[in-house]
Structure 1
Amino acid sequence: MPPSLAAPASFVLGLHGRPSTGFLKDAPALLGAITKRLELKRPFYTILPTTPSGDVVVQSQYEDLGSVKLKKTTMEQWGHESVFCHNDLTPRNIIVKPCNSPDGRSDYQLSAIIDWEIAGFYPASYDLSLQDTYLSGGNRLISFYSLLKRQMKDLVPASSPQVSLLQAMEILFESRQRRLAEGSNIPAIIRQRFM
């Protein structure tokens, strides 16, 4: 590529984020933003550097939830696999219109997706894992959640970087839910009983 067409290094690094939260320059910044959003008064996870190479281990405070090792080279791929994500795909943000199916039955067709204010560029697995956090908020129908997770699974690449981010977010989220359920968080307690 001619030097005049090459993106400046700072542009290439700013692959995660959105205007309201800022653009994150690298994978550790993305992981930091995720953990900050999930933070509680009492810790429920630790992030440990394992080697000078930049690998980290995300470990739950709950032994049965385990840990996941995130290799620096794998985390660096998150930026290369970032896509534009809605980040709030819930029933209230989906508009459908009635239509007739080819066999004459009543059906619905997607008309619009609204409320893009928290959209941004993230790994596709980030948007997929956010669905778990919305379920416990009490604003989600379990049937919609199950259908959306099933459909989104086919859209998210099954690459090692995407899988590692899903695993890390699952450990963080499940650890947080368990910590909340230890207290008096009603949605977390209800989720624990039904999931």
Structure 2
Amino acid sequence: MGRNTNYARNILLNDSDFDDDFEITALLALEEERLERERASTSHYGFVPGQEKDEYFVRKRNATGVLGLSSLQKMTAALRMLAYGVAADFTNEYVRIGESTAIESLKKFVEAIVDIYSTEYLRSPNSNDIARLLRVSESCGFLGMLGSIDCMHWKWKNCPSGWKSKYIGQSREPTIILEAVASYDLWI
């Protein structure tokens, strides 16, 4: 068969001796199954979690019919600005997106993350959460402990030159102390 996508249709049209109803039905079912697989494989193409929350990340056509920026471009620009601390106009070189669009993408991305995850993760623990964490830590032998704290020095690559003298540590380079508190399941 190979990659002949119209195999069933070609057999039905080209073979005049083809009278068996069962085989015709089977070939039509194969064709319908192929079309269904094709529809299913293209329906999720370009899907980005959170698109149902905000239409900003859905790729649209402008008034002239030209496709706009993809959700991948917008989210990549936002993530690069968050992760690497790059300026909004720097994203143009990598993602081919303008400065104002990169800033807007960052704002919309942060709003979408807060909307999606705020109810479960971006909230203060309530009394039930605290009781659960205290029970678990007590069973491990740590009475009254909600989580463990850890600190580490991270090199601050983009430290402003006026602040460097305040943040230079043992490594003779500016660093930031990162403090993290986490429960056993990394919930807080």
- TM range, normalised to the smaller chain? under 0.3
Q: Normalization by structure 1: what TM-score?
A: 0.26
User: Whose relative contact order is higher, 1 or 2, with alpha carbons under 8 Å and at least 6 apart?
Assistant: 1
Q: Which structure dedicates a bigger proportion of its chain to strand? A: 1
